[in-house]
Structure 1
Amino acid sequence: MPPFRYFLAPEDCMSGLSRYPETCVFCGKRTRAFSFNRSFGCPECLQAGYFGFNHDTELGMIIEDKVLLMGIDSDDEEDFLVPIRDAAEKIGMPEAQLRELQRTPCFLTCNNVTWMVCCQDFMAYLGQWQPENFASREAFVEAMSRQSDFSTIRWLWPEDETNPHFGEMVIHVFRCLHCSRLRAVNDST
């Protein structure tokens, strides 16, 4: 599997990756491939941009070659759903980063989890973490603080608990590629 800039988790966290070899509709190679539109595409063709994935991000939803922007004050639908090149200018992020995320696998999730952003770039997805993956409760609180309210954080990891268990809750963790900050979002089954 080739490396993906924004996906640093194990392969088993990739959504839509076949368990067995399939034939890529673009290059004909038989390998583990990603399912899309009732076809399969290999990881190399994904990286080359022959197909891509939609992603919900903090800046908006990347849908094919457009971005559904968030936080735009307008009544005109054309202001919300814009081509990637125009969205890049509006949100102050290089078009190459939007396209790179489009060529990044999705991760397994029960609900629609938002891809995190930091330092004007998408963060790298690290995978699903348990309490022992965090250096401390403080590190967990810091990672969760921008996504969840403190009642959720206290419920997941009470202050007096030394060995918490997240139960049915899944914690998806992202790391900034620039400042190394961790951010996390919870996803319930």
Structure 2
Amino acid sequence: METFAQLGIPFPLYEAPIKEASDYAGKTTCGVCGNHDQPYFILNIGCALMVSCPKCDVLNGLDANDRQDTPCRSCGNEIKFSTPSNDDGVHICYSCLREGKGAITKDTEFGMVSWEQAIEGRTHGVPGLQTSEFETVTTDPDGEWIGVLLPQEHLFELLRTPTFVTWQGEVWLFCCKKPMTYIGEWKSVAASLGKAEAKNKFDQMMTDDARSYPWVWEGVSSESDSVCLYVFQCKDCGNHRANFDMD
């Protein structure tokens, strides 16, 4: 199965088959730079065009779904949404996305990450989060939502990465204080493994969810496709982790 790297447009945090990417749509003219016949991605709900304010040069995100002029978050100057768009959203080429001219919001195990959170160097948070591996911060006035602090460059790298297809919505995982690399659905990852090796790998990945994985294993190892497992790898330590959802 073809990957983005094989297509010549690699992503450090996405090594899964291209067919698993929800926002990749082939080739067209980029709405941002105007170059023709470019591999492109669709920016729409939850995505933003990243534009520097022409008055103060502060970086701003313009909603790619609303596509409205927006006041600068620093000086209040109105920033025009002048990028051409289509019915399905803004078409952004690989080069522009990798240069940070677009941002694809991600949901993660530590809460949402949009361009606003990336600039602040934190995740949006989840209720009652407890972790000893990351520095945390309260993200709501009531003190119930807890996010984690992460370097801007790691969070912006995540926003320059395609989203993978899921039934219930993706949840990006972390390891070694940075986002992990998505390597694909379990069936594509396990295709080259023997049954015993696959079960051993599964057990290693699912230790964080030990109460659930016996029936999850039954689902992912059968032909029913009732459960889908999404596999990540840490490029620093080599560790694998996974999460799952159901149809």
TM range (shorter): 0.7 to 0.9
- Return the alpha-carbon distance in structure 2 between the equivalents of residues 48 and 78 of structure 1: 36
Structure 1 runs (4+) greater than 4 angstroms displaced: 72-75, 77-81, 131-134
- Maintained 8 Å contact 2:164/2:170: no
1:39 to 2:82 alignment:
no
- Maintained 8 Å contact 1:55/1:62: yes
2:230 aligned counterpart, secondary structure: strand
- Return the alpha-carbon distance in structure 1 between the equivalents of residues 143 and 114 of structure 2: 14
Aligned to 2:214: 154
- Maintained 8 Å contact 1:156/1:166: no
Asked which structure has the greater RCO (Cα within 8 Å, sep 6+), the reply is: 1
TM-score (norm 2): 0.63
Q: Report the aligned-residue RMSD.
A: 2.6
- Name the amino acid aligned to 1:185: N
Deviation at 1:3, TM superposition (A): 1.1
Aligned to 1:104: 161
Q: Which of 13, 28, 35 is 1:22 aligned to?
A: 28
Aligned to 2:204: 142
Deviation at 1:77, TM superposition (A): 7.2
Aligned length: 174
Structure 1 unaligned blocks of 5 or more:
82-86
Aligned in 2, Cα 1:188/1:58: closer, same or farther, shift over 3 Å? same
Deviation at 1:138, TM superposition (A): 2.1
- Name the amino acid aligned to 1:68: H
- Return the alpha-carbon distance in structure 2 between the equivalents of residues 80 and 155 of structure 1: 31
Q: What CA deviation, in whole Å up to 9, does each residue of 1:46-89 have, x standing for no partner?
A: 110111111111222112322412335575179969xxxxx8xx
Task: Determine which structure has more spread, i.e. the larger CA radius of gyration.
Answer: 2
Aligned to 2:244: 186
Q: Which of 34, 58, 65 is 2:116 aligned to?
A: 65
1:120-131 paired onto structure 2 within 5 Å: 120-130=177-187, 131=190
TM-score (norm 1): 0.80
